[in-house]
Amino acid sequence: MKNFTFSSLLLVPLFAVLSACGGGGGGSSTPATPVPITLKSIAVTAAGPTTISVNATQQLAATGTYSDGSTKTLTTATESTLAWTTKSGGAAVATVSAAGLVTAKAVGIETINATVGTVVGTINVTVNAPWTQVAAGGYQTVALKADNKAYSWGSNIRGQLGDNTSISRNAPVAVSGSSTIWKQVAVGEQFVVAIRTDGTLWAWGSNQNGQLGDGTQIDRLVPTQVGKDKDWVSVAAGRAHVAALKTATNLLFTWGLNDKRQLGDPTATGNKLVPTAIGKASWLSVAAGDTHTLGIQKDGSLWAWGGGVYGQVGNAATADVPAPVQIGTFSYTSVAAGAFHSLAIRSGGTLYAWGQNTSNQLGNNGSSLQTAPVQIGTESNWGMVAGGAAHSIGVRNDGTLWAWGSNAEGQLGSAGADSPYPVQIGNLQTWKSVSAGNAHSVALKADQTMWIWGRNAEGQLGNGSNAGAQIPLTVPYE
pLDDT, residue 59, reads: 98
In the prediction, which pLDDT does 125 show? 97
Strands 241-246 and 232-237: antiparallel
Architecture of domain 39-128: Sandwich (2.60)
Q: Work out the pLDDT band at 298, boundaries 50, 70, 90.
A: very high
**Distance between CA atoms of residues 441 and 425, nearest Å:** 12
**pLDDT confidence of residue 248:** 74
The answer to whether residue 31 scores a pLDDT higher than 90 is no
Q: CA-to-CA distance for 322 and 263, rounded, in angstroms?
A: 8
Q: What is the per-residue pLDDT for 202?
A: 98
For residues 99 and 193, give the distance between their C-alpha atoms in angstroms, rounded to a whole number: 43
150 with 143: CB under 8 angstroms?
A: yes
DSSP 218-285: --EEEEEE-SS---EEEEEE-SSEEEEEETTT--EEEEE--TTSTT--TT--S-EEEEEEE-S--EEE
pLDDT at position 162, please?
A: 98
Domain spans in the chain, listed from the N-terminal domain onward: 39-128, 131-475
Residues 235, 194 contacting (CB under 8 angstroms): yes
Looking at this protein, which amino acid is placed at residue 187? V
pLDDT for the residue 34:
83
Q: What is the mean pLDDT of the chain?
A: 93
For 208-266, write each residue's pLDDT tens digit.
999 999 999 999 999 999 999 999 999 999 999 999 999 878 999 999 999 999 999 99
* Mean pLDDT score, 191-215: 97
pLDDT in tens, 406-422: 999 999 999 999 999 99
CATH architecture assigned to 131-475: 7 Propeller (2.130)
Residue 368 has pLDDT above 80, yes or no: yes
Q: β-strand 140-145 against 131-137: which pairing, if any? A: antiparallel
Long-range contacts (CB closer than 8 Å, 24 or more residues apart) made by 242-246? 242/186, 242/188, 242/193, 242/203, 242/211, 242/213, 242/275, 242/288, 243/286, 243/287, 243/288, 243/293, 243/295, 244/193, 244/201, 244/275, 244/286, 245/283, 245/285, 245/286
Query: What is the mean predicted confidence (pLDDT) over 161-177?
Result: 96
Q: Is 101 exposed, middle or buried (0-12, 13-18, 19+ CB in 10 A)?
A: middle
| HSE of 64, CA atoms in CB hemisphere, 13 A | 23
pLDDT band for 8, please (50, 70, 90 cuts). Answer: very low
Give pLDDT tens digits for 88-126: 999 999 999 999 999 999 889 999 999 999 999 999 999
